[in-house]
Amino acid sequence: MRWGYPRAAITLAVGNCLFDAACNMWWWFIPLFLIEVGRTTPAEALYWLAAASTAQGVCRVLSGTLWGVMSDRYGRKLMYMRALFFLVVTAVLFGFITEPWQVVFALGLHGLFSGYDGPAVAMLSVSVPDSHFKKSLGLFTALRYLGQSAGPALGAALAVAFTYRSTILIAAGLSAAILLWIYRALPSDRIARAHAHGPGAPSTPAPTARPVLEPFRPSSQLWLAVFIFGMLVALAQVLRIITPIALRAIEGQDVPGITGIAFMLGGLASAAGVFIVSGRYFRIGRLRIAMVVCTVITGLAFLGLGTMHASAPFVAVFALISLTQAAMIPTSNMLIAFNTPAGRRGTAFGLGGSAQAISIALGPLAAAAFVATSMAWGFAVIALVCAALAVLIHRQLREPRPEQAGA
């Protein structure tokens, strides 16, 4: 323990924070970068981004659960390092694309081999006691959002000083350096090995024996938790992709500075959502009502975005949505973990990764449709989706037992 947290939780939280900061130096301006690369319209740029995200989603659906099972069998750290490495590869590929269609290949490869959120949370879930998991997950998520707020601020400064392409390549170099530090600092997780049975069997497990995996029987509550997590990711994807285009439409030109500020404030609001809102109001016994309230507020805020004709109020509402969504993410991950035996949490978060993949594909498709038709009506549709999600959570969600979280 250090500062009230298990050491493994601090190492994972700090490492993920640094890596998120490096990645978010460039991830937020992809729509603007594609407009510049292809010298095309926002609708055409989002078409290619939607196609690429669909390829990413399909590849991650195919590979997500497989990586989860492999993490339970061969180690969560190995799968975490694999995901981080291929995100560095994705950044390098983005730095050298010359046509918008090439983003399909880059994100397809990213979907097949990367996706580090699930492996990171899976490793956290088996590296700390269940009684410390909710608190550790809060630290992990909050520092992640702090990284996501620092990244766009630095990326915006570099994009203004240099170019979008240069910023991507600089971020790729920083990501590689942070990856090496995480590899050295993060301890390996222990995987239970199969024991030999019968007379004369050795008392210690053979080093080459495969781990014993208990049967994986997902419950309805696990599927519900995975669905809630996927919906939160989908809503976040729509918001992140459409924000640069909406601010560009409001200002009449590319606005990397304002967009970077928006994402920086969104990251800070997300950290506040985890530390303040989630820490104070999302407690065992009232998780369901807190989730419902935040979902309703998110829907009303999306509805308000459709009425914004100035950058300042748009950024303010963007930050509010970031806060409420971030407050719900730790609970959705906790529900996935606590509805799964510890030995199969890698598989469960693999399912979460597949749900995330579908959401990552749907988000750009929805954003492209909204830009091609009407963003105001699109935001109204999202508000209705949030209302339906709030009803589902209120009617179907069962909270974990108090002893699971040390309550």
At 353-403, the pLDDT tens digits run: 778 778 877 877 788 788 788 888 899 999 999 999 999 999 999 887 655
Give a three-class secondary structure readout of 287-298.
Answer: HHHHHHHHHHHH
Q: Are 116 and 80 in contact (CB under 8 A)?
A: yes
Domain annotation covers residue 17: yes
Report pLDDT for 28.
78
Q: Predicted confidence band at 212 (pLDDT cuts at 50, 70, 90)? A: low
Question: What single string gives the DSSP state of each residue in 253-299?
Answer: S--HHHHHHHHHHHHHHHHHIIIIIIHHH--TTSHHHHHHHHHHHHH
Q: How far apart are CA 269 and CA 275, in angstroms?
A: 10
Cα 137 to its chain centre, rounded Å, is 13
Token look-up 């990213």 returns 110
Q: Which two tokens stand for residue 261?
A: 């500020």
Q: Predicted confidence band at 77 (pLDDT cuts at 50, 70, 90)? A: confident
State percent of the chain over pLDDT 90: 27
Domain annotation covers residue 58: yes
Please give the tally of structural domains in the chain: 1
For 404, how many CA atoms within 13 A lie in the half-sphere containing its CB? 17
Asked whether the predicted pLDDT for residue 195 surpasses 50, the reply is no
Q: Predicted confidence band at 2 (pLDDT cuts at 50, 70, 90)? A: low
Report pLDDT for 240.
84
Query: Which CATH number characterizes residue 244's domain?
Result: 1.20.1250.20
Structural domain boundaries enclosing 56: 7-187+220-405
State percent of the chain over pLDDT 70: 90
Domain annotation covers residue 201: no
The DSSP letter of residue 250 is: H
Which range has the top average pLDDT, 68-72, 79-83, 251-255, 393-397? 393-397
Q: Predicted confidence band at 406 (pLDDT cuts at 50, 70, 90)? A: very low
Residues whose CB is less than 8 angstroms from the CB of residue 111 and which lie 6 or more positions away in sequence, other chains included: 55, 56, 57, 58, 59, 60, 63, 357, 360
At 126-145, the pLDDT tens digits run: 778 777 787 888 888 888 88
Asked whether the predicted pLDDT for residue 265 surpasses 80, the reply is yes
Three-class secondary structure of residue 103 per DSSP:
helix
Report pLDDT for 303.
94
Report pLDDT for 192.
53
Report pLDDT for 205.
43
- Comparing 401 with 228, the larger pLDDT belongs to 228
Domain annotation covers residue 206: no
The DSSP letter of residue 10 is: H
Q: How far apart are CA 85 and CA 156, in angstroms?
A: 24
Report pLDDT for 271.
83
pTM of structure: 0.69
**How many other CB atoms are found less than 10 A from the CB of residue 226?**
23
At 150-160, the pLDDT tens digits run: 888 888 889 88
Mean pLDDT of 54-59: 83
> Whose CA is closest to 240, among 159, 151, 309, 328?
151
Token look-up 């009425």 returns 307
Domain annotation covers residue 107: yes
Question: What single string gives the DSSP state of each residue in 297-314?
Answer: HHHHHHHHHTT--SHHHH
Average pLDDT, the chain: 83
Domain annotation covers residue 193: no
Which range has the top average pLDDT, 105-114, 120-129, 242-251, 289-298? 289-298
Q: How far apart are CA 402 and CA 395, in angstroms?
A: 20
Domain annotation covers residue 302: yes
- Comparing 250 with 400, the larger pLDDT belongs to 250
At 174-183, the pLDDT tens digits run: 999 999 998 8
Report pLDDT for 404.
53
Report pLDDT for 27.
84
Domain annotation covers residue 374: yes
Find the farthest-apart pair of alpha carbons in the chain and give their distance in angstroms, rounded. 79
At 300-333, the pLDDT tens digits run: 999 999 888 899 999 999 999 999 998 998 889 8
